[in-house]
Structure 1
Amino acid sequence: MACANTSWSEENFSCSICLDVFSSPVTTACGHNFCRTCITKFWDEQVQYKCPVCNEIFHTRPDLRVNTFLSELAAQIRTTVRVKEQPCVEPGDIPCDVCTGTQQKAVKSCLVCIISYCQTHLEPHQKVAGLKKHRLVEPMDRLEDRMCKKHDRLLELFCQTEQVCVCLLCTVTDHKSHPVVPLKEEYEVKMAQLGKRGAEVPQMIQERKQKIKEIKDTVELSNKDADREIAQGGQVFTALIGCVEKGRDEFNQTVQEKLKSTVKRAEDLIKELEQEIEDLTNRSAKVKRLSHTEDHLHFLQACRSLKDPPPTRDWTTVEVRPPSYVGALRRSLDQLEETLNMEMKKPDDGELKRVQQYEVDVILDPDTAYPKLILSEDWKQVHDGGLRKRLPYNPKRFTKCISVLTRQSFSSGRFYFEVQIKDKAKWWLGVARESIDRKGLTEWTRQTGHWTLCYRNNALMFFDNPDYSLFFPVRAKLQKVGVLVDYDEGLVSFYDVETRVHIYSATGCTFTEPLYPFVGPCDHQDGRNSAPLIISPVNQTD
């Protein structure tokens, strides 16, 4: 930007009333100049029309006209003043600290004077012997911030111990023995680290966007699952309500029929009793009349005509008992229970498919396997070999229970795996916490850190605690069992994969340690239980 330079004085073109550069200047008869607005306002407030400068009185109010020449000069002066007030420094330049009025661009900064100089004011540092010794650098802003507050020296080193900028004197005082490097060297290191972090940030942002998408997809899936469950549940409850209403109607009908039968029998008995009473009453009246006759002939003839008394029932053993309705209610409730069980056992293909999406790939850990167990080369199968192997001591190994854990453990979220149990006469399956007792014979309950389903004697069992076990009848031969664990919700569920039927869910579980899938093939029982347990891949098209 070019700097304005003029010999005009701003004071020579100023109104003596407002003291500012003329605006629409006018000239009085006495030769003095004023802004048109200023002199007009001045005369409006006076009794006499006079000049504010020389006090010359005008008998009539002067007719004022704009001084065109003076107006043009005033306009140039106003432009010059605006230019003069603007510094001659481009954006991003360091201004000279010495310039007054129009600031010039600094060409050097003195680290001794702590001042930035333009070319004109720098001349003494280039000519005066004492100033020539001062250290000049490229122009810098905020020079005071670049100086050590304690030693008043330039901060040109970096202390790697305390991660601060220091001066040369700091390295022999407060930062003695600390590793220090030039600012440029540390700058390059930090810039490289910053570049690396800068390259990582987009990936971190992308990962978080992906996580947001996953969460939104989960919410959307949850909404769809909830709608489907509500619809299916509504159908089940509608069927149950219909069953309950039907059972209620049948129960009421049974009660009414029993009541009707009882009432009818009572009415028949009453009718029969009333008939006997009527017959006996008539006979009694005849006997009474005959007992009052004194005519021998008539009496004997009348006695002959009296028939023998009608036969009567022995009423001492006859009674009417209120009907019992307990049996009818019990039968209705049993039928309702059976219907409910049938609804609960209906296969839900959609539920198992939703569960199977949490499949994890796990392998068995030979370091935990009971010494008699034999694992396949891919560590997916295990069975009892019958012979106890001599193995080195391992704190992770089971020494009393014929079991094995997987290498993988889980501490959050959901996970699901399937195990083939075909042709097995006995087995254990589920999950166990990391700190379970592996050297003794412990009850496998949730209190000891086991959430497992057991099969033996043609029945399924879940040991909730030492004093309480749940038994489940096996309707068909199991081929494969699926295990779902929701760590955060405290849930362990078991499924019959082939029939796609839910077997049992342990709810309200408390997990505070990593959980390991737990597989127990049990002893081979002279070959009757020699089939292996196999960790199988999930096939949702089964």
Structure 2
Amino acid sequence: MAGTVEDNLRCPACLDIFQDPVILLCSHSFCYVFVRQWWEQKGDQSCPVCRKRCQSTDPFSNLALRKVCKAFTQDSVELNDICSSHEEELNLFCEDHQEVVCIICRDEEIHAGHKFRALDEAARESRVSFLNRVSFLHNIVGSRKNNRDERIQHSEVIKLQREQIESKIKKTFEEFHRFLQVEESARLAAVRKDEEADNQRIKKDTEILDRDIATLSDVIKSAEELLTISGHVSFMKNFKTAMSRIQEVNWHSLCIFNSPLSQIDHVGNLKFHVWERMKETVSYSPVLLNPNTACSEMSLSEDLTSVTLLGKCPTSFDLEEWPMPKYVHGYVWGFPSDVGWRTWDVEVGDNNAWHVGVEYQDDDDQDHELRISFYDGKYICSSYLKKIHDPPMKLQRIRVHVDPAKRLLSFSDSLTKVELYSTYSKGHNYWKDYDESGLLLPIFYTGHPKMPLQIIPLRPRVELVSFDGKVVSSKPTKKKKKKKKKTRADI
């Protein structure tokens, strides 16, 4: 019977005998401290039990319940609440030693100069702090579960990407003869190896998250069991150990790393990489389009050398109203670290709206564009909107020449070799703020759905380079046959 009465006098939030109880309009009673804390966390005045909204922002004090709880507390002092040394009630808390003491212990030499607080006050604040930690643990578990689910979903995305890459690889290898099946198998194995590596990383992360979740769940379980302890003494005796266990938990979530499988590594310039065996049947593209930078309005060819606009062609183009284009970034193998300059040709044909150029970063990591554009029948260079001299005939091919070391970028007619624009035009260098350690990427945009921009392939060649870096020959050397010395018999 006593246990039933005591249970009815406990706050449903803090599970302790009511301290300063208040009653809500829904007739539920709580400790005032926990009601205010609940309302601050939720941002509204709702009951923690039935979730019914309260109109008043200041709950009514339950005086009758306060008197009953006070009387019950005075009459139910347990043996565990008595000091074993002085047989006095344990009603103080030593902050220096973090232990419960009686009034006689306070005056002993071992506690000289220490700071003491009322036990009920210290217990209330400790419970509030402990509840906050437990709530934080629940949030950590939720974060871990979300990270695990994202990794599992990313594994499915990788699987789809792997299937797409495999399809392109198989189609490329159909052009080769049977003796190249070994190369095809090697390429497929490379894709599966990357997929396996990513899956292994995801599996490892998932295992770590599962272990974290299990550990946190154990900590939460033990913490919640501690919260069910009604007595202040038992609670405070175990509080320090439990709080230390919570503080030892690693709060930092794993950084999400969702890297897509690189189509460039597996598909880009694929024919060129097998050219040593099939050089007569392949071509080499100096620039590849990066599919990870293409928006939904753009469609790239399977060999990543042309881009087409999806949709309707605009009837006219206005320099002031034309929206900022969404570029497709190009990728140049080893550029600009291995060789100082690069040149590539772009087939624009009869396309009446396009951009071709490069994007680079300055010393402050700010992005800049250097490009040549054509729209509304006008040729414009760069974002400086400088009109160039109109060529006598519409340009069909644009040659882009880039030399970062010399801060040189030039555009010319690929067919006539006539220069259209250069960053050194008229003595001005608009590329002087380029940071050589920053990014330098080709950019492409087409505004015509029926006229793609096509990167012109090159015929591959071999250059034999000596140890001092000089080019010996552009063709494979052939061994010279030694002349047979004429003997007296031949004569």
Structure 1 length-normalised TM: 0.27
- Rg comparison, structure with higher value: 1
Normalising by structure 2, we get a TM-score of: 0.29
